[in-house]
């Protein structure tokens, strides 16, 4: 993979000549005060978003400090460092039929996987996706879970004869529940609050596994919930099943989070008997990380103040897919207001928060056509800004590059923090083991300029020798298949 000399080129010139072109145009346009002002805004953004290697290493060190504090006591850090109660990750020996239920938004998925042990591995998998009627998202707990259990019953009824379980044996299920819960065991956790448009008061404070279990009983579904899973922990489990050296997982999507395998003895706030494996998966909730070293701009601070969770999830707000496009929109709006960048009238669509989504930003960033036609069409179709000049379009692409580069490099610093905490940031003599990190999420998967910059930055931070021992793999669908695998690795019948 490319190293230090190349990195500056890869991350800073994702669109060839964008920065240079802007500077050249600036020189030519000295008589145009408005243009000069627009370029000044972009250059100021570039300076404030700067993430030199020294700063990234400071951020990684700050991440390590917060990880220690979060493991020491509840509430000891902005990083919650939640104990997942997952002390056995899949080994590949898992055998049998397992189900998963993935509830994390306005749809839920049910999955069925057939595991064949070391020889057969993943024999078969099937899934169904079911929309949740809006009225059920604000109704009662019983009605919501009865609906989910009824759909699960329909899915179970489609089992082939070859999958029938022997008499007396219950089906087992992994339950991915992507809402804030306080987990009390591998298969129990109380709901702290609903998010993502749900608002069902009588579920708050209840054990969500018990709510699902009661609904399954009412609907005649004979199934035992063996694991309650966070989607990041599921990604780690899915990664470990296919790559035995996976030690951490990171999700870079609409939101962001990380989980890793910690020594149970290194968790002062753990008061129970140490697990036989000696290990415990920790759900970091790293989106809430904050440090004085983070390069935050006025646009970031304003976005945070106006958000529903002001003061929270600061790291997530500068690196994840929900926010990158919105940051670009805020800078463009300032350029339109302060420098008439799109003409004398400020485009009304540009004033609408979150109208510029990160997938659209990604499409603009990846435009390699000579006339940057994709960018022009996006400005026209989304923001109703027609006939933008090529020189202005180049500046828009440059702005996308600045925001994406900062996010990608900060994500790399976070990963370095995890590796440092685990002692994997150096090469020990005689140690030939690989260190594998499982990545998932739409931002990582589809925004290639972002993911490439993140990986190249991590390589530079680690140095050539260490980076040879570190591998990043794509662990697809951890929130689904990972939950089924964790049900298998924590099966009652092991």
What's the CA gap between 202 and 141, in Å, rounded?
6
Question: Is the Cα torsion angle 327, 230, 66, 433 positive or negative in sign?
Answer: negative
Continuous segment of H or E residues that includes residue 468: none
CATH number of 52-83+243-476: 3.40.367.20
Q: Residue 57's pLDDT is what? A: 98
Give the CATH superfamily of 85-229.
ATPase, nucleotide binding domain (3.30.420.40)
- Could you tell me where in the chain the CATH 3.40.367.20 domains are found? 52-83+243-476
DSSP 8-state symbol, 193? -
Q: Give residue 148's pLDDT.
A: 96
Give the pLDDT confidence score for residue 121 in this predicted structure. 75
pTM of the model: 0.88
Q: Could you tell me which residues come within 8 angstroms of residue 198 by beta carbon, excluding any fewer than 6 positions away?
A: 137, 138, 179
* CA 461 – CA 8 distance, rounded (Å): 13
Judge whether 231 counts as a catalytic residue. Answer: yes
Active site residue 300: no
Handedness of CA 332, 338, 341, 344 (dihedral sign): positive
| 289-294 contacts, C-beta under 8 A, 24 or more apart | 289/63, 289/66, 289/78, 289/79, 289/314, 289/315, 289/414, 290/78, 290/314, 290/315, 291/58, 291/59, 291/62, 291/63, 291/66, 292/62, 293/55, 293/58, 293/59, 293/62, 294/59, 294/318, 294/410
pLDDT at site 20: 46
From residue 453, give the alpha-carbon distance in Å to each of 219, 304, 406, 450: 49, 25, 9, 5
Looking at the chain, the domain(s) classified CATH 3.30.420.40 span 85-229
CB-CB contact of 262 with 280 (8 Å)? yes
d(CA 341, CA 349): 14
N residues, the chain:
494
Predicted local distance difference test score (pLDDT) of residue 163: 67
**DSSP codes of every residue in 470-494:** EEEEE-TTHHHHHHHHHHHHT-TT-
pLDDT of residue 494: 64
Q: Which of 77, 87, 102, 109 is catalytic?
A: 109
Look at residues 192, 208, 182, 199 and name the one whose alpha carbon lies nearest to residue 140. 199
CA–CA distances in Å: residue 158 to residues 112, 127, 154, 383, 462 = 10, 11, 7, 47, 50
Would the CA dihedral through 259, 265, 267, 273 be positive or negative?
positive
The DSSP secondary structure of 220-265, one letter per residue, reads T--EEEEEEE-HHHHHHHHHHHH-TTEEEEEEESSSEEEEEEEEGG
Token code pair at residue 4: 């230090």
Q: What are the residues whose beta carbons fall under 8 Å from the beta carbon of 155, sequence distance 6 or more?
A: 110, 112, 128
Q: Are 224 and 173 in contact (CB under 8 A)?
A: yes
Query: Crossing angle for the helix pair 358-365 and 448-462, nearest 10 degrees?
Result: 80
pLDDT score, position 226: 95
Tell me whether residue 178 is one of the annotated catalytic residues: yes
> How do 435-440 and 246-252 pair as beta strands?
parallel
Distance of CA 83 to the CA centre of its chain: 19
Residue entry with tokens 């994390």: 104
Q: Nearest 5°: phi and psi at 472?
A: -105, 130
Which residue in the block uniquely carries the two structure tokens 């994840």? 320
Catalytic residue chosen out of the listed positions 178, 226, 362, 467: 178
- Measured N-to-C along each axis, helices 390-421 and 373-383 cross at an angle, to the nearest 10 degrees, of 90
Query: Which residues of the chain are under the pLDDT cut of 50?
Result: 1-10, 12-31
**Nearest residue to 485 (alpha-carbon basis) of 216, 43, 24, 95:** 95
Rounded Cα gap, residues 340 and 388, in angstroms: 12
Beta strands across the sheet bearing 246-252: 82-83, 279-283, 256-263, 246-252, 435-440, 470-474
- Choose the catalytic residue: 146, 231, 425, 440: 231
């Amino acid at each position: 993979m490319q190293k230090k000399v190349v990195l500056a080129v890869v991350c800073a010139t994702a669109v060839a000549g964008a920065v240079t072109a802007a500077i050249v145009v600036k020189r030519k346009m000295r008589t145009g005060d408005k243009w000069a002002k627009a370029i000044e805004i972009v250059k100021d953004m570039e300076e404030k978003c700067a993430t030199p290697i020294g700063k990234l290493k400071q951020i990684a060190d700050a991440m390590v400090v917060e990880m220690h504090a979060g493991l020491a006591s509840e509430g000891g850090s902005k990083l919650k460092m939640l104990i997942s109660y997952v002390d056995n990750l899949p080994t590949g020996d898992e055998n049998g039929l397992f189900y998963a239920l993935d509830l994390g938004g306005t749809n839920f998925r049910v999955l069925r996987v057939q595991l064949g042990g070391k020889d057969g591995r993943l024999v078969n998998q099937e899934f169904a996706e079911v929309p949740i009627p809006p009225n059920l998202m604000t109704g009662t707990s019983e009605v919501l879970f009865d609906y989910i259990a009824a759909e699960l019953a329909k899915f179970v009824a489609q089992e082939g004869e070859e999958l029938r379980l022997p008499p007396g044996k219950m089906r087992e299920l992994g339950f991915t529940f992507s809402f804030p819960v306080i987990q009390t065991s591998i298969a129990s956790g109380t709901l702290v609050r609903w998010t993502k448009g749900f608002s069902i008061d009588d579920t708050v404070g209840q054990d969500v596994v018990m709510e699902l279990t009661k609904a399954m009983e009412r609907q005649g579904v004979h199934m035992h919930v063996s694991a309650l899973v966070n989607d990041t922990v599921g990604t780690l489990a899915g990664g470990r099943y296919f790559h035995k050296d996976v030690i951490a997982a990171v999700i870079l999507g609409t939101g962001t989070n990380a989980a890793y395998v910690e020594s149970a003895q290194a968790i002062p706030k753990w008061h129970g008997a140490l697990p036989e494996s000696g290990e415990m998966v920790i759900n970091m909730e790293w989106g809430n990380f904050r440090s004085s070293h983070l390069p935050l701009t006025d646009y970031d601070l304003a976005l945070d103040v106006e958000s529903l969770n002001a003061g929270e999830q600061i790291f997530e707000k500068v690196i994840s897919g929900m926010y990158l496009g919105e940051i670009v929109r805020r800078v463009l709006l300032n350029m339109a207001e302060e420098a008439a960048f799109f003409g004398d009238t400020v485009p009304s669509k540009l004033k609408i928060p979150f109208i510029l989504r990160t997938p659209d930003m990604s499409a603009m960033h990846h435009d390699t056509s000579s006339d940057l036609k994709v960018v022009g069409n996006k400005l026209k179709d989304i923001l109703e800004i027609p006939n933008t000049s090529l020189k202005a379009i180049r500046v828009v692409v440059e702005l996308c590059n600045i925001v994406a580069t900062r996010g990608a490099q900060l994500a790399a610093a976070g990963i370095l923090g995890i590796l440092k905490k685990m002692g994997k940031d150096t090469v020990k003599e005689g140690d030939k083991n690989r260190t594998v990190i499982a990545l998932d999420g739409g931002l990582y998967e589809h925004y290639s300029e972002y993911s490439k910059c993140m990986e190249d930055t991590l390589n530079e931070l680690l140095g050539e020798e260490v980076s040879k021992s570190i591998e990043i793999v794509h662990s697809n669908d951890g929130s689904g298949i990972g939950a089924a695998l964790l049900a298998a690795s924590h099966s009652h019948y092991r």
